[in-house]
Amino acid sequence: MAGNNSVTAEVTLEKLLKDIESLESIIAGWDEHERITITALKRAIDDLNKEAMARLIRGLKKSPEAMAALKEVIGDEIVYSVLRHHELVKPSLQERIEQALDSVRPMLQGHGGNVELVSVEPPSKATVRLIGACSGCPASELTLSEGVEKAIKEQCPEITEIIKAKGICTTDTPVNFVSPFARGIEKNWIFAANFDELPENELVVREVGGQSVILAKLENNVVCYQNACAHLGMPLDMSELKDGVLTCSYHAFEYLIKSGECLTVPEVQLQTHAVRVIANKVEVSLS
């Protein structure tokens, strides 16, 4: 029975790729002439295999049953990898989502964070997770919607639902960053409050840079608006904040506290100021 081991040993993509890598590392030590020769040989064999597979696929496409079988077998990781290597199949949805995430990673990594793809549920759903400093960042909602979601939807328009999995914070410092996708953020930051002193879901009025603003902490997020109603400019200090809706105490104009969008007259909205949180400091950049 011991003689059958080599026959029954499982062939995996990982093992096959490892074999190729170890041979490539040996070839890398050869002199240039030998390397050029072996590279040309590899290319010639690749060309031969690609042409044979392309003809095979063209032949199979003539039969609906054979096409169905082909589509099924493309789900096999070894088959898919070889066909992708020869560019005979388009990138999978997962691959395209990863490419989209790669396009925003440099920006996220520049702020100590990252993003990972948790799962894909074809045809329309993907779950991602912000990690590192991006997790728990007060601006992570903005990071997700402005950066990550936009990149995924641009490259994979069939994805219509993006779910944010609970993040993992890998930084020891309780530093939260303003979203790298927030605009006009690099100047004139003014201290407005200590993050841990802001009550959840309540309005706090502050003088910042000689102007009266309102702050609201919403879970890990902080928003800031000019303390002036978009109706007649009356102060919003006495407004009621309930279920995410701020209601002006004067004539009951309603606003979404998360965005400042007016629900009473959709054409207007509260004047927004950019916010960033560094460690425990909430800073505002007046617009």
Measured distance CA(210)–CA(188) in Å, rounded: 13
Contact (CB, 8 A) for 268 and 224: no
* CA–CA gap between residue 159 and residue 166 (Å, rounded): 20
Supply the minimum distance, in Å, between the C-beta of residue 186 and ligand FES: 33
- The nearer residue to ligand FES, 196 or 267, going by C-beta atoms, is 267
The least distance separating ligand FES from the CB of residue 203, rounded to whole angstroms, comes to 14
Note whether 254 binds ligand FES by CB under 6 A: no
Stretch that binds ligand FES, among 70-78, 103-111, 202-210, 249-257 (CB under 6 A): 249-257
- Does position 35 bind ligand FES by CB under 6 A? no
By CB under 6 A, tell whether 229 contacts ligand FES: yes
Q: CB under 8 Å to 200, separation ≥6 — which residues? A: 217, 218, 219
* Listed residue (68, 105, 71) closest to 90, CA to CA: 71
Write down the number of H helices and E strands in the chain: 8, 12
Q: With contacts defined by CB under 6 A, name the span among 77-85, 95-103, 187-195, 228-236 that binds ligand FES.
A: 228-236
Q: Is 214 in the site for ligand FES (CB under 6 A)?
A: no
CA distance 248 to 246: 7
- We find the least distance from the C-beta atom of residue 224 to ligand FES, in angstroms, to be 18
- Select 208 or 230, whichever has its Cβ closest to ligand FES: 230
Q: Mark out the alpha helices in the chain (DSSP H runs).
A: 5-8, 13-27, 32-60, 64-73, 77-85, 93-109, 140-142, 149-155
Which segment (46-54, 96-104, 147-155, 224-232) binds ligand FES by CB under 6 A? 224-232
Among 74, 91, 250, 271, binds ligand FES (CB under 6 A): 250
Q: Which is nearer to ligand FES, 231 or 258 (CB)?
A: 231
Element (H, E) at 221: strand 221-226
What residues make contact with ligand FES under the rule CB under 6 A?
229, 231-232, 234, 248, 250-253
